[in-house]
Amino acid sequence: MQDKDAEELEIGDFIRTLKARHGYDFAQYAPASFKRRLRALRVRTGAASISALSRRVTDEPAFLRQVLAGLSVPVSEMFRDPWVFEALRREVLPILASYPRIHIWQAGCAHGEEVYSLAILLQEEGLYDKSQIFATDLNDVALEEAAEGIYAASSARLFSENYQRAGGRYSLSDYFHARYERIKFDESLKRNVTFASHNLSTDGVFAEVQLILCRNVLIYFNDALQNRVLQLFRDSLVHKGFLCLGSKETLAHTTVERDFDAFDLPARLYRRHAPR
Ligand SMILES: C[S@@+](CC[C@H](N)C(=O)[O-])C[C@H]1O[C@@H](n2cnc3c(N)ncnc32)[C@H](O)[C@@H]1O
């Protein structure tokens, strides 16, 4: 048997072990990028083979955190794709303002960069006090860091430029304190944020919300899992609620395509309509 085939078998076995032992199902992740992350995890943890990783998953329950952190890609930035946040500010928040309470789900929030971005937007539009943001991810290590709101000072320049391009009203530095090599966002920005573990592959509706941001997450899933997650989003949104995807993601050719109208395609903003 060729090495490549042997590796495929080991990967299949790893996926089954993780599911059987811990209930995490990676079977429907896009295979090429999943394989890359699994190989990197093997190297980082010093495992001799992927089978050795499977054994650690079986024998050491505490290893799971490290595995989930290694398999996820918690890469993000504040006001990433600034035109999206500008569109949210200009087109979506004025509509959400008519609700007595605003509920937002940020799925796949990584280290929380988009969560603080949203909190700042809501604050500047005078809506934060009546808003609740549910920020979820599969990766508990990333979620803990998200709740801290601490980032490398070297990111401040990019974050500030994005903020200005997104129509920021002040200076981003008004919202954080710089200390040594780190910046820490004001505690008040997370007073209406709930950070929680939620697995889009297996968990159900999280809450009924008027806006879902799930950007740069679906790209890691195969078509079947993308459809599952998109149906979950549709069922979590109020009628006329908004869905915002990443710049490489789309509802075209998915099972929910007919349940949404394109609202602002360059910003990947869709609006749910009532069942036809
Ligand atoms: C590239 S980051 C996206 C961060 C942010 N939304 C952005 O666009 O900048 C992808 C995130 O999706 C999360 N993720 C991957 N699979 C997931 C799943 N099944 N359920 C929940 N989150 C998941 C990862 O842990 C990671 O934090």
Q: Specify the ligand 1 atom closest to the Cα of 203.
A: 20
Sheet holding 182-185: strands in order across? 150-152, 182-185, 176-179
- The pLDDT, as a whole number, for residue 2 is 53
Q: CA–CA separation, 138 vs 239, rounded Å?
A: 27
Per-residue pLDDT tens listing for the chain (276 residues): 458 788 899 999 999 999 999 999 999 999 999 999 999 999 999 999 999 999 999 999 899 999 999 999 999 999 999 999 999 999 999 999 999 999 999 999 999 999 999 999 999 999 999 999 999 999 999 999 999 999 999 999 999 999 999 999 999 999 999 999 999 999 999 999 999 999 999 999 978 999 999 999 999 999 999 999 999 999 999 999 999 999 999 999 999 999 999 999 999 999 998 776
Domain of 18?
3-71
- The pLDDT, as a whole number, for residue 3 is 80
Beta partners for residue 221, in sequence order: 29
CA–centroid distance for 136 within its chain: 7
Co-location of 195 and 264 in the same domain: yes
* Dihedral-angle region of residue 211 (phi above 0 means left; psi in -120 to 50 means alpha; beta otherwise): beta
- What are the E-state strand segments in the chain? 102-107, 131-137, 150-152, 176-179, 182-185, 193-197, 209-214, 237-245, 260-264, 269-272
- Overall residue count recorded for the chain in this entry: 276
In a domain, 13, yes or no: yes
- The pLDDT, as a whole number, for residue 1 is 47
What CATH number is associated with residue 126?
A: 3.40.50.150
**Residue pair 32/209 in contact by the 8 Å Cβ criterion:** no
- The pLDDT, as a whole number, for residue 193 is 98
In a domain, 178, yes or no: yes
Q: Does 81 sit in the ligand 1 pocket, CB within 6 Å?
A: no
Top mutation candidate among 137, 155, 233 for ligand 1, by most atoms within 8 Å of CB:
137
CA–centroid distance, 167 to ligand 1, in Å, is: 25
Number of domains in the chain: 2
Co-location of 177 and 104 in the same domain: yes
CA–centroid distance, 76 to ligand 1, in Å, is: 9
Co-location of 47 and 142 in the same domain: no
In a domain, 77, yes or no: no
Co-location of 154 and 219 in the same domain: yes
Q: Does 264 sit in the ligand 1 pocket, CB within 6 Å?
A: no
